[in-house]
Amino acid sequence: MSLMDRLRERACANRMRVAFPEGDDETMMRAVAEITAQGIADCVLVGDAEELRRLADERGISLEGIELADINDEVVNADVAERYLALPDCPFKAKGVARRLARPMEHAFILQALGDVDITFAGIACSTGDVILAGQTIIGLADGIDTVSSVGIFDIPGYEGSEGNLLGFGDSAVCANPDSAQLASIAISACETISALTEWEPRCALLSYSTCGSAEGELVDKVVAARDIANERRPDLKIDGEFQFDSAINLRVAGRKVKHDSEVAGRANIVIWPDLNVGNVGVKLVQQFAHAEAYGPMLQGFKKVVCDCSRSAGVAEIVGNVIMSCVRAAVLKGVA
């Protein structure tokens, strides 16, 4: 059974509530209908309910089993606003909450902050920056995390690593030039995300052009400092470095280059790029030359699961991303 097949089973067994603030987009609406028909999640379309019904009828899409959260329903909005304003970490005044409830994406995030939904899923119309900003403002970052980042999973034909042909990686999409604290946050978040999806014990390698002091420089120092910060914040996680890529995933190479006892060297199941240049190039190389499938990227670092899809995403890609998001949310809630 493939990773995605296993994740689908887990998502269906622990159905999460997912808010979609871009239901007026036809691709998103069709994906929501598919997710509902397959029993993957309980879906909530957030927007102008009358317009959503009109569009669904025009497109021949059934909204049966799909909840509509109407941004124009003054009675419901008043109740939502009252409950949200009562939260101790609500950052807005009453007028600010009212303005945000009139905007579908922020309305969805407020529902998520209240626990009315488990996941907010957007990105096909809204920019990644807008999704991240709204998520940071309304949901907030997880404890001990300094930055939003992304993570993915390679499925590499012919690769025989510590987890077969699978390898986690991050960040390849969000944090361009992380400092040491941010890099530590990326590693910690990646361990949490990959563990939730795969049920592995994370062994996370911080990558560099140096292995254990084989080279010197500011770029190496940044990675070493990130390791120390990550280990101090989360001593329960296996995070080590600095390692060159081969030292991270190849036991034979690690045996030659790594001179200290390490539970990660040569056996890493997650690798953390030192910056976005390396991350983007690394992902493209593995995809082009190893013909790898890459699941993700998935946003991480928030208190709750926030998902941003590509603007070019099709129905199948959206469904796959929702499946992964639901599994993560179920683990976060302690029900999976």
Q: Are 207 and 272 within 8 A, CB to CB?
A: yes
CATH number at residue 102: 3.40.50.10950
Task: Assess whether 105 and 190 both reside in one domain.
Answer: no
- pLDDT the model gives residue 97: 96
Closest Cα to residue 186, out of 321, 97, 301, 33?
Answer: 301
Task: Assess whether 124 and 160 both reside in one domain.
Answer: no
Which burial class, exposed, middle or buried, applies to 177 when counting CB atoms under 10 A from its CB (0-12, 13-18, 19+)?
Answer: exposed
Task: Assess whether 37 and 130 both reside in one domain.
Answer: yes
Q: Tell me the backbone φ, ψ of residue 207, rounded to 5 degrees.
A: -90, 150
Task: Assess whether 98 and 197 both reside in one domain.
Answer: no
Report how far apart, in Å, the C-alpha atoms of 68 and of each of 42, 108, 189 are. 11, 11, 32
Task: Assess whether 231 and 216 both reside in one domain.
Answer: yes
Task: Assess whether 10 and 116 both reside in one domain.
Answer: yes
List the domain range (segments joined by +) for residue 211. 149-295
The C-alpha atoms of residue 76 and residue 151 are separated, in whole angstroms, by: 36
Which burial class, exposed, middle or buried, applies to 148 when counting CB atoms under 10 A from its CB (0-12, 13-18, 19+)?
Answer: buried
Amino acid at 246: D
Per-residue tens of pLDDT for the chain, all 336 residues: 788 999 999 999 999 999 999 999 999 999 999 999 999 999 999 999 999 999 999 999 999 999 999 999 999 999 999 999 999 999 999 999 999 999 999 999 999 999 999 999 999 999 999 999 999 999 999 999 999 999 999 999 999 999 999 999 999 999 999 999 999 999 999 999 999 999 999 999 999 999 998 999 999 999 999 999 999 999 999 999 999 999 999 999 999 999 899 999 999 999 999 999 999 999 999 999 999 988 888 999 999 999 999 888 899 999 999 999 999 999 999 886
Q: Which residues pair with 67 in a beta bridge?
A: 44
Task: Assess whether 260 and 128 both reside in one domain.
Answer: no
Count how many domains the chain has: 2
C-alpha dihedral (34, 38, 44, 48), degrees to nearest 10:
30
Task: Assess whether 134 and 257 both reside in one domain.
Answer: no
Task: Assess whether 114 and 175 both reside in one domain.
Answer: no
The C-alpha atoms of residue 203 and residue 240 are separated, in whole angstroms, by: 8
Task: Assess whether 154 and 291 both reside in one domain.
Answer: yes
Q: Tell me the backbone φ, ψ of residue 109, rounded to 5 degrees.
A: -65, -35
CATH number at residue 249: 3.40.50.10750
Task: Assess whether 69 and 88 both reside in one domain.
Answer: yes
Helix axes 180-198, 218-233, angle to 10 degrees: 50
What residues have CB less than 8 Å from 27, skipping those under 6 apart?
124, 313, 314, 315, 318
Task: Assess whether 285 and 319 both reside in one domain.
Answer: no
